[in-house]
Structure formats: C-alpha cells, structure tokens
Amino acid sequence: MKAWNERWKSEKGRALWLEPVSFIASLVPKFKKKGVKKILDIGFGVGRHSMLFAKEGFDVYGIDTSESGLEYANKWARKEKVKVCLKLGEMSNLAFENDFFDLIIAWNVLYHNTSDGIRKSIDEIRRCLKQDGYLICSLISVKNDKYGLGEEIERNTFVVTEEKEKSHPHHYFYRKETRQCLIGFSLLRGKDVEQFRSGDFHWHILAKLISKDGD
C-alpha cells in the first residue's frame, strides 16, 4: 500500500514499528517448547517480528507489499547477522507450498480488506499451515474509536478516503465474528485490548489449526 511504503522510508515513520509487540514476544518460549521451526510473517512492515524470531533461531519467511519496508528489513537482518527470507507478496495469494509453516503471524494486516478478501487470506493461511500449526493475528475491534468513520462499503467495513492510511477498507470485528472468520481454528487466546493509545482497541489472538478443511 502506497501510504505504508512512504511511511517506511523515514526514521520518523518507522519509529513506532521497531519494537516487537509484547503479546507476540511472550509466546516465543511456548513455540520453542512446541517445536515450532518455520514461521511466516505476513505484512512484516519493517521487520520487527521477523527479527525477533530470527534472532531466537527460528526459520523466518515474510511477505509484504512495501518495497521500502523490504529494503529496510533486509538491511536490519544484515546488521543483526541473521538469515530471513523476505519478499514482496499478497496475503490473499501466498507463494508457498501446502503445509509449509508451523506458525503464521498476521499482525495488523488481515482487517485491511473486505469480508471476502479476509476470507481468502485466511483460506491461504490455513492452506500453508501444518496441521496443529499456530496463527497469531490482530483484528480491529468495533470498540475502536475509529469505528464508523468514513463510508461504510459493507457491514462493519469503512473507507476514509481523505486519510492516506485509511483509504483502503478497514473491517471491524465483534467477538463472535473473530471466531466465525477463523474457521478450522481453535481459539487459544482472544482479548480486546488497546494497542498504541486509549481507544485503539484490537483483538489479540492466538489460534491453533485443527481442521485443514475449515470444518
């Protein structure tokens, strides 16, 4: 997305996106204990979670649509002397084999779409995850103070055309819908929390794949 591509070009634009989310960092010991090896970081941004897992010895892959984010993340990896496999790509069409990953991270990316686009992305995540693989994701909540702003293009999906970062769809989730969209997953953790500021509510989710067919 053009707005994010521009943001990642500047030190100021990257400033809030360099530290791993504490929820994700806290799960590293669990994944080590469970034998997780291969990880996909969807929408890696500037690489904060890719770097976190790479430095812990995981086999890290990542996709993003931003060329400037990819450039920065690769420079960061070289500086840290860690190996990551990052490339440009779309979450609705993951260029990986079936049953390839033990863990997929999709942080602050899935909800940037219509309901149909979100379903397609989750279908791809399910396809690429191994049976009993894990998904960490965040979904923007209807409690978020941005809910209702802009044009509602479908139920709970809004576009704010005058704001660069909001000029694409944002789909907001109720608790029940978080479960409904994660078909085939067992929800291990799901909490509606404020992310960056007061009123910035997002669902923080850890789920486990229990059905490749989505039943």
- Domain with 20, as residue range(s), is 2-209
Does a structural domain hold residue 89? Answer: yes
Confidence of residue 8 (pLDDT cuts 50, 70, 90): confident
Residue 43 counted as domain residue: yes
H helical segments located in the chain: 2-7, 11-14, 22-25, 28-33, 48-55, 67-80, 115-128, 175-181
Which distant-in-sequence residues (6+ apart) come within 8 Å of 133 by Cβ? 101, 102, 103, 104, 208, 209
Total structural domains within the chain: 1
Asked if residue 215 is part of any domain, the answer here is no
pLDDT of residue 113: 94
Residues 144, 108 contacting (CB under 8 angstroms): no
Residue ranges in 145-211 assigned as alpha helix (H) = 175-181
Specify the DSSP class assigned to residue 168.
S
Task: Say what the pLDDT of residue 167 is.
Answer: 67
pLDDT greater at residue 194 or residue 160: 194
pLDDT in tens, 145-160: 999 999 999 999 999 8
Give the predicted TM-score (pTM) of the model: 0.95
For residue 175, the SS3 value is helix
Share of the chain above pLDDT 90, in %: 86
Query: What's the pLDDT score for residue 215?
Result: 56
Q: What is the CATH number of the domain that holds 170?
A: 3.40.50.150
